Chains A and B, each alone.
Chain A
């Protein structure tokens, strides 16, 4: 949509300078430290991120009883796994997983903002935050998914989950065929944030 609007020519350079000025002032005034922003960013590179969700999904693929427990009581099942501290931390205090199955495809949205399960998926990608996606997915999820390259046939039920209160949702995609011989670690590499939100499916490499 950006061609509809006019922006200053130095749009990014200006924002870069402004955020740096803001960070500098906040450090100078003792609100944050010179390490605070990097501390946050490192936390999302190492502790909270889609690498956790990939481990959860891969375990669900190799252990159907774990998958059942994951859907029935998501936080309790996640706590079984050897994941970093904080899996019930910020933006993951109340999470629910929904599982795709033959005949059922799940899609997670947030029409009011961009609620996202930080501990297991990290930070939301741009597509999820975009108001056009948030508007359209509530009425025409199939058309939206087709634009993501994921046509869903009419005999598959699409379930759209709008994250409007305390729950942060994610999807357990189906295990792709042709992956029978793969280890759990190899399976993790097939799980993307898009598959765990429902705009993609997991694919064999």
Chain B
């Protein structure tokens, strides 16, 4: 069990941070740009081939898995883009694109001489593909026939699926009942196969409404509703046993 899968409802954290900036340090812009380029150059996308040496898959799921695998205290300790920098550097090392030694050595060089310029190189086709990805996106919708098991207004129970590395089921909704608010037309994949957690293949997605009095018995604010978008894998009939939805 990962705390990162169960953040919703966690108490005792103190006041919220109301910082409205997107980046609080100039260096953060660079890791955001690198991440977005990696998503755009990721091998599974049906985009034009480029001379880029990037030949593996990098999606949001990879970034999220990295953040979810952190020590939960480190998850709170480090700022958003600090976590990105750690996760993305680790990915390039792990996949053999760079070595830790050369990254450490060059970090020392730039630490000593922060204004030392970046190298000049690269084929414009790489940047064209990055822009094409941003403009066209990567829709998870798939044109495959799926039959939605539930309809608007149905009472459903959220399954307690065996999530391991990664999930899109907010932990605080497990075993709770809700009411189907929307059945999204079509079928939706997820960025990766989450294994026993059960998403990846195209399936229906529901928007389900929850009563906070059931989510947080005796500890809910008045007059509010919580809605979550949930893959069909996570949505079960109310009479299904609590432990796990049949695969």
Chain A residues at the B interface, C-beta cutoff of 8 Å: 1-2, 4-5, 7, 10, 12-41, 43, 47-48, 85-86, 88-94, 111-114, 122-127, 129-136, 138-144, 147-148, 154-167, 193-194, 199
Verify A138–B225 contact, CB threshold 8 A: no
Q: Which of B84-99 contact A (CB under 8 A)?
A: 85, 88-89, 92, 97-98
Verify A20–B27 contact, CB threshold 8 A: yes
Q: Which of B140-156 contact A (CB under 8 A)?
A: 140-141
Contact A93:B229 (CB < 8 A) given known A18-B89, A30-B52: no
Query: Can you list 23 contacts pairing A with B, beta carbon distance less than 8 Å?
Result: A14-B107, A15-B25, A15-B85, A21-B110, A22-B103, A24-B118, A25-B92, A27-B121, A30-B122, A31-B52, A37-B37, A43-B131, A94-B139, A112-B4, A112-B7, A112-B170, A122-B22, A130-B80, A132-B13, A158-B221, A159-B225, A160-B225, A165-B230
Residues of A close to B207: CB separation below 8 A: 167
Verify A90–B8 contact, CB threshold 8 A: no
Q: Any chain A CB within 8 A of the CB of B48?
A: no
Verify A90–B16 contact, CB threshold 8 A: no
Verify A24–B110 contact, CB threshold 8 A: yes
Number of A-B contacts (CB under 8 A): 322
Contact A132:B130 (CB < 8 A) given known A15-B25, A20-B110, A125-B20: no
Residues of B close to A89: CB separation below 8 A: 133-137
Interface size class of B (residues with CB under 8 A): 35 or more
Q: Any chain A CB within 8 A of the CB of B244?
A: no
10 shortest interchain CB distances as A-B pairs: A33-B122, A37-B33, A138-B8, A165-B229, A21-B106, A17-B111, A111-B8, A16-B27, A126-B19, A86-B135
Residues of A close to B246: CB separation below 8 A: none
Verify A148–B18 contact, CB threshold 8 A: yes
Verify B114–A13 contact, CB threshold 8 A: yes
Q: Mark B180-223, 1 if CB is under 8 A from A, else 0.
A: 00001000100000000000000001010000100110011111
In whole Å, how far is A86's beta carbon from the nearest beta carbon of chain B?
4
Q: Any chain A CB within 8 A of the CB of B67?
A: yes
Q: For the complex, what is the distance from the CA of A159 to the CA of B10, rounded to whole Å?
A: 19
Q: For the complex, what is the distance from the CA of A126 to the CA of B72, rounded to whole Å?
A: 19
In whole Å, how far is B158's beta carbon from the nearest beta carbon of chain A?
11
Residues of B close to A20: CB separation below 8 A: 27, 30, 110, 114, 118
Return the chain B residue nearest A148 by Cβ. B18
Verify A5–B77 contact, CB threshold 8 A: yes
Verify B229–A163 contact, CB threshold 8 A: yes
Verify A142–B224 contact, CB threshold 8 A: yes
Verify B19–A29 contact, CB threshold 8 A: no
Task: With a 10 A CB-CB cut-off, give which of B17, B80, B141 has the most chain A CB atoms.
Answer: B17
Q: Mark B27-46, 1 if CB is under 8 A from A, else 0.
A: 10111111011010100000
Q: For the complex, what is the distance from the CA of A24 to the CA of B186, rounded to whole Å?
A: 43
Q: For the complex, what is the distance from the CA of A127 to the CA of B18, rounded to whole Å?
A: 5
Contact A165:B216 (CB < 8 A) given known A40-B36, A91-B137: no
Residues of B close to A154: CB separation below 8 A: 222-223
Residues of A close to B120: CB separation below 8 A: 27, 34
Residues of A close to B75: CB separation below 8 A: 131
In whole Å, how far is A50's beta carbon from the nearest beta carbon of chain B?
10
In whole Å, how far is A129's beta carbon from the nearest beta carbon of chain B?
4
